[in-house]
Amino acid sequence: MINTSRKLFPKWIVFLILGVYLGLNFPDIDQRTDLLVHRSIFTHGFIVPLFFFLFTSLITKKSLRLFLMGFVVALAVHLSFDLFPRGWWGYALIHIPQIGWTPKFISISWIFVSICVCIYIAISMVRGVFEVFVFLLIVIGAFVFESFSEDQFFAPLTILIITNLIVIWWKFTTGRFKIKVFRAIIRGFFLSLSIFKKSFTNFYSMIRDEYNVSMQYKRSFPKFFIRVLWIWLVLFFSTIRDFIKVFNSIFEELKNE
């Protein structure tokens, strides 16, 4: 009877559930100790998961591996909700001992990167098709459970989907193509800045000229406003066209790789 129960309910499930539970609650242990401040970089980041990841090659037992998988996935889920506090100040920011609170941009970047690292570690632990299903089950189950005690839902869900897609692409893409993509992203970024600068400069110059003409010929404000609106529409669609050209050229460059 005992052997039958073990087959129906293997011990790795217990370890998996325990890992998920600890992963969801681990970031908040800094509130229960005087050693750390809430949202400490040690509890709200990839430092602890990365430490575990360095020893995954030594882990042979399935139950322990799935425990760690559950832990890092649940931690990623928790952090995806932490990306949407009521405001980015005080305890919403990442805290570094002896340094203090980090700026908003640094805090957001740290949490986002940590989610990606946690997901990457979890995917690296997957062995076989069945464990792919287990991984997906952990992500969905942990997210739904955590959402019960949170105000946000769709925003963290979007972040979780995006980070999973980024990690899956990164893990299963060749190094050469990654370099190609990064080059394309950088090129697209600077071209976009150039387009924005050009559009703003043209808009400001044309509006200033239109204002001078309106003052010279004493045109009414409604006429001036209509002219400004028309100029804005022309430049807007011209800017969209330029963006389409840029992204189309980048897409063609990547497609030919």
Instruction: Note whether 93 and 192 are same-domain residues.
Output: no
- Same domain as 221, residue 104: no
pTM (predicted TM-score): 0.74
CA distances to 73, 76, 175, 178 from 142, rounded to whole Å, are: 8, 10, 32, 31
Q: Do residues 118 and 157 share a domain?
A: yes
Neighbours of 252 (CB within 10 A): 9
Q: Number of folded domains in the chain?
A: 2
Do 151 and 67 fall within a single domain? yes
pLDDT digits (tens, 9 = 90+) for 87-126: 999 889 999 988 899 999 999 999 999 999 999 999 999 9
Instruction: Give the residue numbers spanning the domain of 39.
Output: 2-172
Do 37 and 148 belong to one domain? yes
Indicate whether 61 pLDDT > 80.
yes
Local confidence band at 3 (pLDDT 50, 70, 90 cut-offs): low
Q: Indicate the burial class of 114 (C-beta count within 10 angstroms; 0-12, 13-18, 19 or more).
A: buried
| Amino acid 1: pLDDT | 42
Claim to verify: residue 157 and residue 191 sit in the same structural domain: no
Using alpha carbons, select from 224, 198, 230 the residue that is nearest to residue 211. 224
Residue 7 has pLDDT above 70, yes or no: no
Same domain, 249 and 209: yes
Pick the last residue of a domain from 116, 147, 172: 172
**143 and 214, same domain (yes or no):** no
For residues 119 and 166, state if they share a domain: yes
